[in-house]
């Protein structure tokens, strides 16, 4: 069973949308009663968190600059500072119980922490830019184990477990080829917007803000209005135990990170972790081509970009792909050379001979720089396949005596295509189609790959 089971979806900002309750970890099932000691949070404290002094407008992501200095990643020192106000040495009973649970599961905790570390750094940096308490960086650990779980219908999804209505209210797109709740960067920006709003509503009290994120703003406000004692412990507010345990988990995890050495836990080196960087995508482009330009396989690319559902990136005004720094630098450098207007046209085509390679390079002579970049400098060698802007308009034409391919000469592989279907659709013999494209029965077809429909000259 996962260490940090998902508890409940974030309620919607304007309408207090209900959340789905999921199973608790075993320790919670063993005793579902409220702890005897009350929570120590002060509900009406108007003082803003110390980090609020650093609040600033979030800058729009820029293309990656290889010379840029990465954000300071002394993450654990920042957690130690953030925990100063949590009274980790005098935790309430519920938080102390969860802290003990995580310490018992130290091996699993360290494994999950190491896997999630690049995203924790991303979230922590965003929270710090917004002047929000760093303990909110543990919200995704409680909500999703820092993953990107998918869902369908009116159910939560993604890193922050946003409900569809909540996400759309925060400006997050959800469509057939893109679910912004699964976009680590976009979802974090939206969640920070929500947390900032809730923090203002509850006068900077991070505990009330955390409970409102879990249970809904209006539900928490109603509980506060119904309380006869303004300083009553959270236990007496009438909120669900799920919400109270949610808060306790966030507090326990923050204290564990701040005092890991006291519990015999060695934290991974955050300074050695490669930073994730966004790269802006202004035109639709094949995800396979993006992965190639970044120097990653498609699985490595999708690990950081699970929101991209289709073979091509969607048409979005502010779409970014998120990649480790080196991959982001490679992709950004390549996209600066390859004209954006040609991005949707690039595909992978089989080259059957040296003569054909020369013809293709002559055909796209006006884009040789982009072709060399797209093929890693190997366009002038003797590759069996080349990335080419097949669908692009071309000013330069070959002499009439030299046969060329036009739009009807190739088929662009889409998901579900088979060679047999392609051959039948175009009235070709399967064996000829395979021979022209240097394929056999074991060949794997990839989305965006170009299949020749004419015999090469």
Active site residues: 143
Question: What is the C-alpha to C-alpha distance for residues 138 and 79, in angstroms, rounded to an integer?
Answer: 10
Residue 37 DSSP code = S
- Paired tokens of 219: 């539900």
Provide the 8-state DSSP code for 411. E
User: Which DSSP string corresponds to 76-139?
Assistant: HHHHHHHGGGTTGGG--HHHHHHHHHHHHTHHHHHHHHHHHHHHHHHHHHHHHHHT--GGGGGH
CB 74 within 8 A of CB 271: yes
Signed CA dihedral, 343, 345, 350, 355: sign only? negative
Q: Which residues pair with 312 in a beta bridge?
A: 286
Other CB atoms within 10 A of residue 250 CB: 28
Select from 206, 282, 187, 198 the least CA-distant residue to 51. 206
- Of 225, 259, 309, the closest CA to residue 87 belongs to 259
- Is the CB of residue 225 less than 8 Å from the CB of residue 207? no
Contacts of residue 376, defined as CB under 8 A and 6 or more positions apart, other chains included, come to: none
Cα dihedral 327→60→155→313 (10° resolution): -50
Cβ pair 205, 231 in contact under 8 A: no
Rounded CA-CA distance 90/40 in Å is 9
For 225, list phi and psi in degrees, rounded to 5: -65, -30
User: What is the distance between the alpha carbons of residues 1 and 4, in angstroms, rounded to a whole number?
Assistant: 9
**Distance, CA of 183 to CA of 187 (rounded, Å):** 6
By C-alpha distance, which of 315, 385, 317 is closest to 346? 385
**Whether the Cβ atoms of residue 22 and residue 6 lie closer than 8 Å to each other:** yes
């Amino acid at each position: 069973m996962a260490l940090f089971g998902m508890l409940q979806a974030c309620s919607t900002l304007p309408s207090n949308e209900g959340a789905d309750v999921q199973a608790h970890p075993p320790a919670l099932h063993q005793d579902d009663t409220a702890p005897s000691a009350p929570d120590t949070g002060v509900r009406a404290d108007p003082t803003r968190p110390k980090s609020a002094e650093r609040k600033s407008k979030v800058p729009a992501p820029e293309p990656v600059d290889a010379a840029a200095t990465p954000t300071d990643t002394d993450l654990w020192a920042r957690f130690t500072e953030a925990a100063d106000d949590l009274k980790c040495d005098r935790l309430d009973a519920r938080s102390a119980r969860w802290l003990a649970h995580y310490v018992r599961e130290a091996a699993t905790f360290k494994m999950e922490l190491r896997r999630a570390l690049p995203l924790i750094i991303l979230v922590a940096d965003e929270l710090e830019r917004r002047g929000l308490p760093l303990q909110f960086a543990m919200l995704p650990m409680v909500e999703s184990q820092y993953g990107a779980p998918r869902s369908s219908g009116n159910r939560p999804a993604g890193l922050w477990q946003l409900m569809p209505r909540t996400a759309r209210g925060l400006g997050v797109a959800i469509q057939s080829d893109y679910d912004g709740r699964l976009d680590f960067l976009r979802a974090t920006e939206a969640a920070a917007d929500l947390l900032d709003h809730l923090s203002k509503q509850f006068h900077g009290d991070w505990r009330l803000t955390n409970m409102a994120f879990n249970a809904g703003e209006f539900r928490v406000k109603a509980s506060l209005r119904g309380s006869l004692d303004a300083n009553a412990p959270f236990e007496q507010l009438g909120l669900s135990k799920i919400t109270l345990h949610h808060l306790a988990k966030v507090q326990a995890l923050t204290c564990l990170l701040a005092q890991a050495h006291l519990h015999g836990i060695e934290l991974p080196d955050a300074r050695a972790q490669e930073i994730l960087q966004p790269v802006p995508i202004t035109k639709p482009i094949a995800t396979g081509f993006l992965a190639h330009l970044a120097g990653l396989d498609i699985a490595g690319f999708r690990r950081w970009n699970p929101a991209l559902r289709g073979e091509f990136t969607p048409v979005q005004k502010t779409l970014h792909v998120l990649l480790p720094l080196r991959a982001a630098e490679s992709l950004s450098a390549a996209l600066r050379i390859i004209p954006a207007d040609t991005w949707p046209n690039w595909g992978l085509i089989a080259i059957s001979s040296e003569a054909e390679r020369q013809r293709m390079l002559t055909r796209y002579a006006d884009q040789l720089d982009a072709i060399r970049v797209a093929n890693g400098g190997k366009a002038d060698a003797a590759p069996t396949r080349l990335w080419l802007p097949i669908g692009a308009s071309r000013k330069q034409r070959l002499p009439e005596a030299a046969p060329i391919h036009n739009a009807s000469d190739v088929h662009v592989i889409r998901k579900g295509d088979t060679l047999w279907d392609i051959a039948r659709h175009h009235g070709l013999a399967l064996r000829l189609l395979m021979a022209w494209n240097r394929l056999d029965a074991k060949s794997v077809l990839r989305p965006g790959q170009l299949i020749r429909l004419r015999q090469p000259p």
